[in-house]
């Protein structure tokens, strides 16, 4: 053995990178030479988030490890140069480039390879696997010339691949040999719920059939598939995602034992039959006879091997005591995923294999929700499946193996039928809250903040599903409740309403209000706040039923009340573009009703001075001419300003008017914690003042730059650059995510500028969430926005077409035909203005 020991790592995936970090944490990188042979042309990246590439993340965004980690620790990383042979007798490894490296310890972290069924045509042009970034780049390029795609495999990766093809604009088929989707993770009921939801998204699923052959055209390119039931699929592109197999050929070639179905056999220290050779991750067959395909067990194996090698080659760090050898004896296979926007989770004995176990289920096929808990005869929670609503996963999984503090059926019942939301106090200190890094509740509560938790324990830095629970476990300071009626913040109430599908203020107050407030009428703070939340979740017409009583004065009458009791009306003029005919209609309406007319700062026309009883008459004229509500009265999108762009301006580089119109029509009526303003400038001269808006867009020669968090007003704030050189689709996708994340997490009456400055981590955190999908919620955010867009209805039109709704627009309930005599005007500059004399006298009498 040389004076300075050499550790050779074959493979630089997620598990290989975690092994390197574990060596660094133990000080081994300072006392040993570390060589890494990597088959791919790029360093380790987050394969769990691979599909997020199609949501706007770049390969660099997916990179793992802190910047400069490899260089800082003196690690020799050889990219695009895999190991081709191991000589155990001489303890050397040879790479494809012909390099030979001696080793004192060899770690095989070669992962797995995609299984491609041996069917005719599997190697045809247009056939792909779904495993690496290079695979995704190839699929993306080929899809540009395709119309239809098919995925062979309906498991986790198969559904991710299907989502990617669908996102690329292809009509998509999924072929699964098992009788249901995701057969490993979910049971029959969960598979049925998942199937209904996915088919509702426009994907075609073929379950219980196998692929017989891939057919090709005369040029040898894919043109279809034949299935085992005799049916055929016309498709231009095929992705094989039918499972993976351990990459153990290197071990086989050098005589190391492997399992009957593959996998390099290792002991509890992840050591092979050769004491100098270790195997970790998906290539390893653990001592319990299983190959683990999840990242969490791989990380645990990486830690185990690192500790064993540290003790053997380098010894413990000076000043540290020796401890019992770390052992890998198996791992929890629980998992929480979001596939095509659908929450899917399974934990523990999800399929009920234990003798005598009982199932507790809840199913709502209309909403696509399925929940099942598996319980032992003595009441212990053994496992479960959650589809469509997996918010309870973070609390339920740590309770596995124990008797829950409430009956199991209460844990999965829908809102209003006895559902109990367990608090963090229900978890024992030894409950594992972060499965990726095996971190317990006790370790989390020893910290004081989320950044400290991530730094000290790495909890929350893996899949991200534990972050919400960690936040609940950390010390809470002061009463952060919205008001005296609710102990929850606005963002918490939003999540409660969304998750539990609560549709009324009364139900929310009774189920989640403070004890003293339940059964009451609420207050002026929480009623409009909850009304806005319900509206943002597409809860129908805002003045129907109970919701009307929740609205502020402006929302209540769908117009802006002015100082003399009259109202102003602002029809929507998307992007500021309006035809002469529509301008004439506005002029005629203003003339016929005697309204004061003014161009607003948002490129619209404001009509002032309408009595409440005149509002429906004015709306009818405007709606008939093609106008709709501009939502100037609501905490919603106001305007998307624009310059004239490249169509007219000699400096313009993009069509800013078209983009402004598209954005305004997409986000019209979107209810938010505060008003939203936007603008699109056609070049860097910035005539539309986009950088002073909640979200602003500036054209570049290569696309669009997106700025967020700006505003004018009393405390102006310059917007921050979130992303640049975006395509149309990328721009819209990021704005969708940004707006829904803001709506979901902001406080009451909080502008995006204030929210962004308050947000922990600021712009960097926002970019991680909405661009890089660090929390894994972007599909959910996009789905929420899609619901808004598809459910939009013009409130003016909804009102004038319903006699019952029209009945509220009167000055006096007991004299509906009488105008309000206090609403008076005087002439000024060829228009009229409020009679301030009347206002003064009325104010004196009131005093």
Token representation of residue 839: 């206002």
Domain ranges of the chain: 6-113+246-314, 127-242, 332-422, 426-475, 490-551, 552-634+807-837
Residues 6+ apart with CB under 8 A from 616: 799, 800, 806, 809
Q: How far, in Å, CA of 81 to CA of 41, rounded?
A: 8
Options 3.40.120.10, 3.40.50.1820, 3.40.50.10800, 3.50.50.60; which CATH number does 127-242 get? 3.50.50.60
Beta strand 171-176 with 148-152: parallel, antiparallel or unpaired?
A: parallel
Token representation of residue 184: 């490993």
**Residue 276 exposed, middle or buried by CB count within 10 Å (0-12, 13-18, 19+):** middle
CATH superfamily of 332-422: FAD/NAD-linked reductase, C-terminal dimerisation domain (3.30.390.30)
Q: What is the predicted pLDDT for the residue at 280?
A: 97
- Tokens 């081994």 found at: 28
| Contact in structure between 528 and 550 (CB atoms under 8 Å) | yes
Q: What is the dihedral of CA 532, 534, 535, 538, to 10 degrees?
A: 160
Q: How far, in Å, CA of 645 to CA of 663, rounded?
A: 15
Query: How far, in Å, are 209, 230, 434 from residue 462 at the CA level?
Result: 35, 43, 8
| Contact in structure between 766 and 810 (CB atoms under 8 Å) | no
Q: How far, in Å, CA of 164 to CA of 50, rounded?
A: 10
Question: Same fold for the domain at 6-113+246-314 and the one at 127-242?
Answer: yes
CATH superfamily of 6-113+246-314: FAD/NAD(P)-binding domain (3.50.50.60)
DSSP character at residue 504: -
3-class SS of residue 211: strand
Q: How far, in Å, CA of 517 to CA of 397, rounded?
A: 33
Q: What is the predicted pLDDT for the residue at 22?
A: 93
- Tokens 């390119």 found at: 221
Which stretches of the chain drop beneath a pLDDT of 50? 1-2, 321, 416-418, 813, 838-847
DSSP labels, 540-603 = S-TTSGGGGGGS-HHHHHTSEE-TTS-EEE-B--GGG---HHHHHHHHHHHHHHT-EEEE-TTS
pLDDT tens sequence across 294-316: 888 999 999 999 999 998 875 55
DSSP labels, 98-110 = S-EEE-SEEEE--
Q: What share of the chain is helix, strand, coil (3-state, %, to 5)?
A: 35, 20, 45
Q: What is the CA radius of gyration of the chain?
A: 31
- Tokens 């009982």 found at: 358
Q: What is the predicted pLDDT for the residue at 302?
A: 95
Q: How far, in Å, CA of 479 to CA of 484, rounded?
A: 10
The upper half-sphere exposure of residue 454, i.e. CA atoms within 13 Å in the direction of its Cβ, equals 12
Classify domain 426-475 by CATH number: 1.10.10.1100
pTM for this model (two decimals): 0.56
3-class SS of residue 72: helix
Classify domain 552-634+807-837 by CATH number: 3.30.70
Q: What is the predicted pLDDT for the residue at 532?
A: 87
Token representation of residue 212: 């017989």
Token representation of residue 171: 């009509």
The upper half-sphere exposure of residue 827, i.e. CA atoms within 13 Å in the direction of its Cβ, equals 2
């Amino acid at each position: 053995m040389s004076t300075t020991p050499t550790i050779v790592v074959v493979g630089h995936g997620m598990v290989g990178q975690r092994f390197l970090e574990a060596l660094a944490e133990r000080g081994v990188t300072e006392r040993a030479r570390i060589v890494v042979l990597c088959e791919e042309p790029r360093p380790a990246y987050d394969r769990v988030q691979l599909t997020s590439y199609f949501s706007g993340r770049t390969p660099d965004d997916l990179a793992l490890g802190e910047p400069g980690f490899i260089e800082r620790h003196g690690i020799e990383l050889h990219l695009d140069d895999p190991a081709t042979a191991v000589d155990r007798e001489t303890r050397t490894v040879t790479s494809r480039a012909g390099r030979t490296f001696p080793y004192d310890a060899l770690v095989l972290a070669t992962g797995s390879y995609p299984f491609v069924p041996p069917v005719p045509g599997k190697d045809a042009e247009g056939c792909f696997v779904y495993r690496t970034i290079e695979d995704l780049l190839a699929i993306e390029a080929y899809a540009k010339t395709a119309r239809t795609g098919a995925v062979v495999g309906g498991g986790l990766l198969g559904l991710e691949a299907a989502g990617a093809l669908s996102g690329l604009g292809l009509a998509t088929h999924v072929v699964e040999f098992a009788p249901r989707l995701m057969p490993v993770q979910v049971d029959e009921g969960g598979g049925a719920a998942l199937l209904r939801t996915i088919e509702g998204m426009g994907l075609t699923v073929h379950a219980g059939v196998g692929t017989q052959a891939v057919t090709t055209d005369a040029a040898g390119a894919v043109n279809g598939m034949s299935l085992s039931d005799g049916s055929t699929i016309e498709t231009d592109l095929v992705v094989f995602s039918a499972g993976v197999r351990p990459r153990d050929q290197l071990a086989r070639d050098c005589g190391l034992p492997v399992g009957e179905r593959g996998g390099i056999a290792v002991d509890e220290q992840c050591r092979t039959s050769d004491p100098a050779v270790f195997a970790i991750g998906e290539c390893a067959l653990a001592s319990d006879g299983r190959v683990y395909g999840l990242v969490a067990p791989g990380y645990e194996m990486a830690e185990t091997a690192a500790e064993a090698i540290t003790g053997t080659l380098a010894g413990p760090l000076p000043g540290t005591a020796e401890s019992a050898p770390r052992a890998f004896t198996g791992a929890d296979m629980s998992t929480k995923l979001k596939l095509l926007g659908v929450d899917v989770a399974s934990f523990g004995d999800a399929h009920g294999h234990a003798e005598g176990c009982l199932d507790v289920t809840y199913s709502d096929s209309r909403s696509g929700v399925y929940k099942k808990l598996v319980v032992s005869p003595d009441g212990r929670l053994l496992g479960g499946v959650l589809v469509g609503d997996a918010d309870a996963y973070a609390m339920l999984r740590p309770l596995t193996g124990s008797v829950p503090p409430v009956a199991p059926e209460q844990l999965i019942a829908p809102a209003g039928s006895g559902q109990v939301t367990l608090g963090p106090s229900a978890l024992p200190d030894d409950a594992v809250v972060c499965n990726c890094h095996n971190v317990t509740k006790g370790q989390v509560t020893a910290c004081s903040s989320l950044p400290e938790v991530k730094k000290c324990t790495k909890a929350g830095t893996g899949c991200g599903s534990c972050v919400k629970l960690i936040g609940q476990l950390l010390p809470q300071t002061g009463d952060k409740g919205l008001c005296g009626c609710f102990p929850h913040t606005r963002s918490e109430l939003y999540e409660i309403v969304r998750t539990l599908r609560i549709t009324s203020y009364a139900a929310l107050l009774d189920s989640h209000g403070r004890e003293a407030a339940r059964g009451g009428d609420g207050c002026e703070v929480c009623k409009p706040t909850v009304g806005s939340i319900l509206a943002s979740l597409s809860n129908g017409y805002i003045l129907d039923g109970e919701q009307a009583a929740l609205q502020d004065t402006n929302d209540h009458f769908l117009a802006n009340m002015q100082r003399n009791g009259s109202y102003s009306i602002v029809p929507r003029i998307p992007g500021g573009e309006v035809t002469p005919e529509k301008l004439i209609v506005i002029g005629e309406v203003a003339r016929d009703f005697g309204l004061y007319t003014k161009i607003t700062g948002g490129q619209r026309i404001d009509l002032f001075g309408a009595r409440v009883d005149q509002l429906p008459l004015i709306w009818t004229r405007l709606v008939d001419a093609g106008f709709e509500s501009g939502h100037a009265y609501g905490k919603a999108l106001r305007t998307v300003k624009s310059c004239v762009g490249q169509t007219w301006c000699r400096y313009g580089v993009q069509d800013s008017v078209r983009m402004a119109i598209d954005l305004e029509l997409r986000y019209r009526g979107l209810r938010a914690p505060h008003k939203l303003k936007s603008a699109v400038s056609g070049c860097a001269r910035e005539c539309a003042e986009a950088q002073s808006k909640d979200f602003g867009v500036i054209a570049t020669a290569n696309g669009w730059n997106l700025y967020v968090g700006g505003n004018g007003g009393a405390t102006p704030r310059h917007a921050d650059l979130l992303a640049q050189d975006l395509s149309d689709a990328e721009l819209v996708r990021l704005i969708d995510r940004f707006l829904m994340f803001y709506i979901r997490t902001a406080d009451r009456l909080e502008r995006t500028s204030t929210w962004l400055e308050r947000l922990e981590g600021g712009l960097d955190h926002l970019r991680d969430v909405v661009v890089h999908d660090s929390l894994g919620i972007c599909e959910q955010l996009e789905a929420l926005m899609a619901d808004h867009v598809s459910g939009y209805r013009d409130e003016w039109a909804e009102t004038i077409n319903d006699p019952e709704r029209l009945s509220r627009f009167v000055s006096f309930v007991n004299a509906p035909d009488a105008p309000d005599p206090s609403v008076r005007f005087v002439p000024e500059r060829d228009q009229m203005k409020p009679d301030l004399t009347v206002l003064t006298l009325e104010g004196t009498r009131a005093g």
